[in-house]
Structure 1
């Protein structure tokens, strides 16, 4: 939520106010739950992608991911 709000300055003040007023309940998951189960798939944070399976031995794929 903070990352989105910093890109949209009109949303930063309302978000800051909500966090000060309600703490951790300010930005809940759309389901309304605070604690969600952990993700099962491995994520590649640098590329912003979910890693499913293995990569082909192809020059377009990072060397460490091939095979």
Structure 2
């Protein structure tokens, strides 16, 4: 899965976490500048919550892995 950050936001470090629907942390990675690619093969099927912390910004979204 590729996470695309708004091009207007400049960042040097991004912390991306993936949680299951019950709130259990499944994956947490830090990224420097550039593309953010997340491996989802080992997360199992179902709804996941993705959070990205970039400076003062926090983005939250749901994804469905089939």
Higher relative contact order (CA 8 A, sep 6+): 2
Structure 1 or 2: more helix by fraction: 1
TM norm. shorter chain > 0.5: no
Q: TM-score, normalised by structure 2?
A: 0.21
Larger Rg: 1
Higher relative strand content: 2
